[in-house]
């Protein structure tokens, strides 16, 4: 009731939830009380969660914040949310996001932008909460849920976490099942939590992760109890610092924050080593070929026949065209056009194939560092703090918006786990995050190291 009340009071201003399922929350909480009374409490018993609108939730609003899925209420539950309910968690509702998870500011939502609960000191200006999981980050930061699910294809968990002073982890590709999560770029998409602290993130991921026959890329590895890793010392861990993440025009305070993080880990007994990830500079351009290519294929299913919106036409072809023209927003259309172009017969070798080769090189860079004994890599999470809603520079130039992902996309391209942890405030009093990147399926080292930073 406290959380439902908090949502009623604050959601008008924050637009973090696009659907509130208060009746369902009350029914689930009641069942929780009964299980507790029977002494059968689960790991997350009675914990109220917000769910990103990308996850299928049975009988509940699931539209990926797109007009094309208007009215869609799935007949099935995503594996990740089913895992959470099986552990006793309670669903408060569905959270705002960029349409089909394409964006870095939540401004590409059919439901309008979510608002960051943080403001610059002395300013009334509304800031973006980051994206695409902006609703998840805003809701957690404002106390409108205990924790939230999110997804990360190129940074959509870590960047909004950094912008809102919350913790976000993208686990290793294959750790969480993608079944029942609307696909954006299938080889990059992963689910993960956004939470208030590292311990909550560890508890949430232990529940969310599983082995699942319904997703063939889900890896058959037992899920550790991640919270057990917390409190272990980082003494003797080797932390790599890649000079390639020192990009042009990065504000000095981000550099200072990075040095602060290095000092904290050094003080805690970690060994700091310089490493090289020479192909980092190609990651962003390669990502913006691979991700749209996969998106153009995945989004072909929204044709006015199977789900949601249908705009009639004189024949079926015109119906497809009308539905997609009206149902998709500008950024989604831009991705479909780029993706179709780079996959077309004449350009496949020049763009898509080349981007895939770059992807292999990026992966090898990380392998070289880890093979040399590096346990985790420390970088800034974002090149700036949260920016104003409607920022004209980013509005007029989509590439400026894409630059938000410069530190996060490498991790998806290589399939590695990455965590963003709040590490300080900038000169305006806005939160900044540091990112830790780990070996495949070594989320434990990330939790343990992030716990020292937070």
Nearest Cα neighbor of 156 from 448, 438, 429, 418 is: 418
The DSSP line for 25-93 is HHHHHHHHHHHHHTT---TTTT-EEEEETTB-BTTB---TT-GGGTT---SS--HHHHHHHHTT-EEEE
CB of 375 to ligand GLN, least distance (A): 25
Strands 238-242 and 376-380: parallel
Decide if residue 155 touches ligand GLN (CB under 6 A). Answer: yes
- Among positions 78, 83, 116, 132, the unique one binding ligand GLN when judged by CB under 6 A: 132
Decide if residue 129 touches ligand GLN (CB under 6 A). Answer: no
Angle at 408 between CA 402 and CA 410, to 5 degrees: 100
- Among positions 156, 172, 420, 435, the unique one binding ligand GLN when judged by CB under 6 A: 156
Collapsed DSSP state (helix, strand, coil) of residue 364: helix
Q: Is 156 a catalytic residue?
A: yes
d(CA 374, CA 382): 22
d(CA 26, CA 16): 20
The residue among 102 and 453 lying less far from ligand GLN, judged by its C-beta, is 102
* CA distances from residue 229 to 225, 237, 268, 374, 422 in whole angstroms, order as listed: 8, 14, 16, 18, 19
Residue 20 forms beta bridges with which residues? Answer: 93
The residue among 52 and 451 lying less far from ligand GLN, judged by its C-beta, is 52
Catalytic residue among 105, 156, 207, 385: 156
Nearest residue to ligand GLN by CB is: 156
SS3 content of the chain, % helix, strand, coil (to 5): 45, 15, 40
Residue ranges in 400-419 that form contacts with ligand GLN under rule CB under 6 A: 405
The residue among 184 and 245 lying less far from ligand GLN, judged by its C-beta, is 184
CB of 105 to ligand GLN, least distance (A): 9
Decide if residue 291 touches ligand GLN (CB under 6 A). Answer: yes
- Among positions 11, 153, 166, 449, the unique one binding ligand GLN when judged by CB under 6 A: 153
Residue ranges in 348-407 that form contacts with ligand GLN under rule CB under 6 A: 405
CB of 445 to ligand GLN, least distance (A): 23
Q: Is 297 a catalytic residue?
A: no
Binding to ligand GLN by CB under 6 A, coded x per residue (else -) over 302-341, reads ----------------------------------------
CB of 272 to ligand GLN, least distance (A): 29
CB of 285 to ligand GLN, least distance (A): 13
Taking residue 221's Cβ as centre, other Cβ atoms within 10 Å add up to 13
Catalytic residue among 52, 66, 104, 109: 52
Decide if residue 74 touches ligand GLN (CB under 6 A). Answer: no
Binding segment for ligand GLN (CB under 6 A), chosen from 41-49, 151-159, 253-261, 358-366, is 151-159
The residue among 92 and 182 lying less far from ligand GLN, judged by its C-beta, is 182
Residues in binding contact with ligand GLN, number by CB under 6 A: 13
Taking residue 22's Cβ as centre, other Cβ atoms within 10 Å add up to 14
Binding to ligand GLN by CB under 6 A, coded x per residue (else -) over 76-105, reads -------------------------xxxx-
Decide if residue 60 touches ligand GLN (CB under 6 A). Answer: no
Residue 139 sits at φ, ψ, to 5 deg, of: -65, -40
Taking residue 325's Cβ as centre, other Cβ atoms within 10 Å add up to 10
The DSSP line for 231-268 is T---TT-EEEEEGGG--TT--HHHHHHHHHHHHHHHHT
Strands 147-152 and 431-438: unpaired
The binding site for ligand GLN (CB under 6 A) comprises 101-104, 132, 152-156, 184, 291, 405
Catalytic site positions? 52, 132, 156
């Amino acid at each position: 009731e406290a959380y439902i009340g908090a949502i009623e009071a604050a959601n008008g201003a924050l637009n973090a939830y696009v659907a509130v399922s208060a009746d369902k929350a009350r029914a689930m909480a009641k069942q929780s009380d009964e299980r507790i009374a029977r002494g059968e409490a689960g790991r997350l018993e009675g914990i109220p969660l917000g769910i990103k609108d990308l996850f299928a939730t049975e009988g509940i609003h699931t539209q990926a914040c797109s007009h094309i899925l208007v009215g869609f209420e799935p007949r099935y539950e995503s594996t990740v949310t089913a895992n959470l309910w099986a552990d006793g968690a309670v669903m408060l509702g569905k959270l705002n996001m960029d349409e089909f998870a394409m964006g870095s500011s939540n401004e590409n939502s059919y439901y309008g932008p979510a608002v960051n609960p943080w403001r610059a000191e002395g300013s009334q200006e509304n800031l973006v909460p980051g994206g695409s999981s902006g609703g998840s980050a805003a809701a957690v930061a404002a106390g409108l849920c205990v924790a939230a699910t999110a997804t990360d294809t190129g940074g959509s968990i870590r960047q909004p976490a950094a912008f809102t002073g919350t913790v976000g982890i993208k686990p290793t590709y294959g750790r969480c099942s993608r079944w029942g999560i609307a696909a954006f770029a299938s080889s990059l998409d992963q689910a993960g939590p956004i939470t208030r602290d590292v311990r909550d993130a560890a508890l949430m991921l232990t529940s969310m992760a599983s082995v699942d026959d319904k997703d063939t890329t889900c890896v058959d590895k037992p899920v550790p109890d991640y919270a057990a890793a917390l409190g272990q010392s980082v003494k003797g861990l080797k932390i790599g610092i890649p000079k390639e993440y020192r990009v042009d025009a990065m504000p000095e305070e981000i550099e200072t924050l990075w040095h602060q993080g290095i000092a904290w880990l050094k003080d805690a007994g970690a060994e700091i080593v310089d490493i090289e990830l020479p192909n980092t500079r190609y990651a962003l351009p390669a990502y913006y070929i691979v991700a749209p290519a996969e998106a153009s294929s995945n989004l072909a299913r929204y044709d006015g026949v199977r789900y949601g919106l249908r705009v009639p036409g004189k024949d079926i072809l015109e119906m497809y065209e009308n539905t997609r023209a009206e149902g998709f927003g500008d950024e989604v259309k831009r991705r479909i056009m780029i993706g179709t172009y780079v996959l077309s017969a004449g350009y496949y070798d020049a763009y898509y194939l080349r981007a895939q080769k770059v992807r292999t090189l990026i992966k090898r860079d990380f392998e070289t560092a880890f093979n040399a004994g590096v346990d985790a890599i420390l970088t800034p999470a974002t090149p700036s703090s949260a920016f104003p809603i409607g920022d004209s520079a980013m509005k007029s130039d989509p590439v400026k918006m894409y630059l938000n992902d410069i530190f996060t996309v490498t991790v998806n391209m290589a399939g590695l786990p990455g965590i963003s942890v709040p590490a300080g405030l900038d000169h305006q009093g806005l939160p900044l995050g540091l990112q830790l990147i780990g070996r495949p399926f070594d989320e434990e080292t990330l939790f343990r190291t992030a716990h020292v930073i937070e």
